[in-house]
Amino acid sequence: MAAPVKKRKTSLPKKTVGLAFPVKFPDISMFIVERKIQRARLDHVKNLARRKGFQVSDSLNESVTHIISELETRDQVLEVLRGRLSNDVEASLFLKDAEIVCMGWFTSCMEEGAPVQVTHGHRLKPEVKAVPTVSSSSASKTCYQDAKYCCQRITPLNHHNKKLTDALEVLEKQADFLGGDNNSSRALAFRKASTALKALPKTVRNMREVENLCDLKGGKHCKRVVQEILEEGFSSEVEDIMNDEWFQTVKIFTGVFGCGAATGRKWFDMKLRSLEDVRRCQDINLTTEQKHGLKFYDDINTPVTRHEADVIQQIVAAEAQQILPGTTVTVTGGFSRGKTTGHDVDLLISHPEEGKEEGLLAQILYALHKKDFLEYTDVQNSSYNEAAIRQVKRNQVMDHFERCFSIFRLPKRLIQDRSELNTDQSTVKLGENTLKMSPKDQANTQRPTLAEEGSGDVEDTTNKTQNQDNSDETGNADDRNVRTQSQDAGLLDSKLTPCVDSEATSLNDGVRDWVARRVDLIITPHSQYAYALMGWIGSRMFNRSIRDYANREMNMTLTSHGLFDKTKNALIPAKTQREIFEHLKLQYREPKERNC
């Protein structure tokens, strides 16, 4: 029997920090701030300086003449140094004489092989303090208010701390994917912290600026991640999550229309790792939604542009006007909060005469189907009653409006050639079917101004994937599509349930002449329109916040259907969103300020 092969011993690289080099410049003593410098590079830089004859101190002391840092400002360096100083060492003893310089000075010294003169360009500058404006009205808009509720803050779409909020939202998504009550609470904590940072009017430089924010001061995990990013430029935990196979795979699966986190986890546990694995798996009974989701995965996961949303809105509005003149069709979702792209298109449909909207959805769907605009539909009847507002559950996010979740066939020529879409909205060219609207009808299809009548983000407000998971886990999704057909089903013939290969009728030389887009149509009575519009404005966190505020501070229940005063036991009507804010005694926030 052959003797086992002996493994060769490998010696670890020896640290060279302790090696002695002759000192050529005794009057110079460098201290290199570790922040934003990786350990291997820091060791290399120190050894390089010592080989060149410079003294490099590993601790702060009175002999240090030059403090070198990769940080951007002098104040950031001082913040780091204060944490390193012992009680018996006063910063004033040496900081008044020591130069605080950038890494560029160090590089110049190494290139010259000798100390170079410190210039104005080498010295790190102090942070520029913002000068407050004299006007109290303008100050109220620019000064950050660390309010208890995020609905009281201004939260813009483009904020100053995207690097921090992106990291926190990765943690939030992972917690959502994991599922369960505990992870749901964790996800909410990450979102609250992210929301607080979005509202800050400047870029965060150090933890002292944010550690006491209402939605951050109690979150040790959030603080740890934020601090690491501020110090190192990245979060190792977030990078590990983004590179994790489980996270990447579940993220792909939840991109399938009709697949939520629970289904994504189940598919992963079944050893499935790709969409192709799902398609080939014989053990999965795909719902109708999921079949369409897999088939049109690339289209549905391609962001919808604002132009595409406008095209779809005009197509639906033209049909609605033909059926019921005076109908309003409003693009909702993140578009009204300033977003240029979205996951889907949400259309809020109403009529100024209460009751006229009843039966309208079925007729619109029938008209759209006749012109081959619909690939898939799932109609849900209205389940609204006044008691639903009074007894609404705190975590309930779905409203009770009649609606249709659909996959819309958007003709490519309408999005490639904008000339097909008249900007005055008077004519929508649809091949041989050119629909014209009267000036009065045109007015009813105009989108509300952002200042008054914004819209909502369905992904944020309706939590569709959760409901899709519920149906998937019980195996009733296919039945639901039939069971929830509108009461006007006489108008919805069998063509409204297209088969999976229905796109073949639109193929031109094997290439589809349309793209699949997620479109939801929501019918709301005129009396509930302002509340519905605000509910669909989003964001999800804004809605959660303003509803919590109404309940806790005003003893009222706010939903997308109305505002119920629990003290007076009465519903409070409102014609505009601004009136809703007034009822709640809140300062009005424009839709573009609700990106929590």
pLDDT along the chain (596 residues), means of 10: 43 47 93 84 89 91 90 83 58 69 90 90 76 39 68 94 96 96 93 95 90 82 92 91 97 97 97 97 95 97 96 97 96 92 95 94 97 95 70 62 96 76 48 46 43 38 42 36 35 38 46 94 95 91 95 93 92 96 96 95
**Is 501 annotated as contributing to ligand binding?**
no
Strand partners, 507: 512
Strand partners, 341: 305
Identify the pLDDT of residue 479. Answer: 34
Identify the pLDDT of residue 60. Answer: 84
Identify the pLDDT of residue 76. Answer: 82
| CA dist., res. 139 & res. 204, Å (int) | 20
Signed CA dihedral, 149, 155, 160, 162: sign only? positive
Q: Six-digit token pair at 298? A: 């690339």
| CA dist., res. 69 & res. 66, Å (int) | 10
Identify the pLDDT of residue 135. Answer: 39
**Is 277 annotated as contributing to ligand binding?**
no
Q: Identify whether the C-beta of residue 588 lies closer than 8 Å to the C-beta of residue 581.
A: yes
Domains of the chain from N-terminus onward:
29-112 (3.40.50.10190), 144-242 (1.10.150.110), 245-284 (1.10.150.20), 300-527 (3.30.460.10), 540-593 (3.30.210.10)
pTM of the shown model: 0.68
Identify the pLDDT of residue 330. Answer: 95
Identify the pLDDT of residue 499. Answer: 35
Listing DSSP states for 331-383 in one string gives EESGGGGT-SEESSEEEEEE-SSTTTTTTHHHHHHHHHHHTT-EEEEEEE---
Q: Identify whether the C-beta of residue 534 lies closer than 8 Å to the C-beta of residue 577.
A: yes
**Is 346 annotated as contributing to ligand binding?**
yes
